[in-house]
Amino acid sequence: MTKNVKIAVGLIYILCLGLILYGFFIFVDVTQLNDYSYIRDKTQFLFKIKDQNPFWFSLLFFLFSIIWILLLGFATPISIIAGFLFGKFYGTLISVFGFTLGCTLLYILANQYFKELILEKLSNRISKFKDVFNKNEFLYFLIFRFAGGAGTPFAIQNLLPVLFDMKVKNYFFSTLIGLFPMVFILSAIGSGIEKIIEKNTDPNFITMIQNKEILFPLIGFFVILIISFLLRKIYFKK
């Protein structure tokens, strides 16, 4: 990749990230995030906009999910917010498809423009996984996704298949299926938090734990973590 292209990509990245952070700090006063009434008022404002323009609100959130992943963002907070705003089922669909498209676009761009850099930085760290992935790239990347990337940060997970020249189709569908369980659980937690706020209950740890809308997804979350740990031990031994 030429120096000019690298500079252009870097500037676009900084610009997009800057706009997102600017919008966040315009809308949210971080000094009042411990004030329940402030959180409730902001929540009611968002739901009012969503109810007035459900299609455009959903579309903008979907596009934001894609851009967020392209900017190497974390999936967990967006999954919880999606469940909070749209409910666990619709929130899961928006998040999973948004993440999958974002991951796939990131993979294509990285494979096209940053392959040499990724090979230089990451090839030594994951060389032990190369033979495993080459046996059945779809199956093992699906397990890799479901296992939380064997402890690998989400942004790095999205870039690792560049090292294996993975087919885009296999990347897309293994990501789509592999992300679904955890995203559903996180969206369910977000939906549970919304229901607590909707009842005008000041949320605290005890209140949330006692609410089955949050308790059951949390149990599912820990079950997924245990299964992921076992999968790592079986398929991604050091």
Burial class of 105 by CB neighbour count within 10 A (0 to 12, 13 to 18, 19+):
middle
User: Confidence class of residue 30 from pLDDT cuts 50, 70 and 90?
Assistant: low
Domain spans of the chain, in order of start? 52-235
In whole angstroms, what is the distance from residue 228 CA to residue 160 CA? Answer: 18
Q: What is the pLDDT of residues 201-236, one digit of tens each?
A: 556 656 666 666 677 777 777 777 777 777 666 665
Length of the chain: 238
Amino acid at 90: Y
What's the whole-number mean pLDDT along residues 62-89? 89
User: Confidence class of residue 168 from pLDDT cuts 50, 70 and 90?
Assistant: very high
For the chain, the farthest-separated pair of C-alpha atoms sits apart, in whole angstroms, at 56
In whole angstroms, what is the distance from residue 188 CA to residue 89 CA? Answer: 8
pLDDT of 119 strictly over 90:
no
User: Confidence class of residue 173 from pLDDT cuts 50, 70 and 90?
Assistant: very high
pLDDT of 34 strictly over 70:
no
DSSP secondary structure letters along the chain: --HHHHHHHHHHHHHHHHHHHHHHHHH--GGGTT-HHHHHHHHHHHHHHHHHSHHHHHHHHHHHHHHHHHTT--SHHHHHHHHHHH-HHHHHHHHHHHHHHHHHHHHHHHHHHSHHHHHHHHHHHHHHHHHHHHH-HHHHHHHHHHTGGGG--HHHHHHGGGGGT--HHHHHHHHHHHHHHHHHHHHHHHHHHHHHHHTT----HHHHHH-HHHHHHHHHHHHHHHHHHHHHHHHS--
What mean pLDDT value characterizes the chain?
79
In this predicted structure, what is the pLDDT of residue 47?
Answer: 85
Find the range with the poorest average confidence among 52-56, 153-157, 220-224: 220-224
Highest mean pLDDT among 23-27, 183-187, 232-236: 183-187
157, 144 contact by CB (below 8 A): yes
pTM given for the model? 0.81
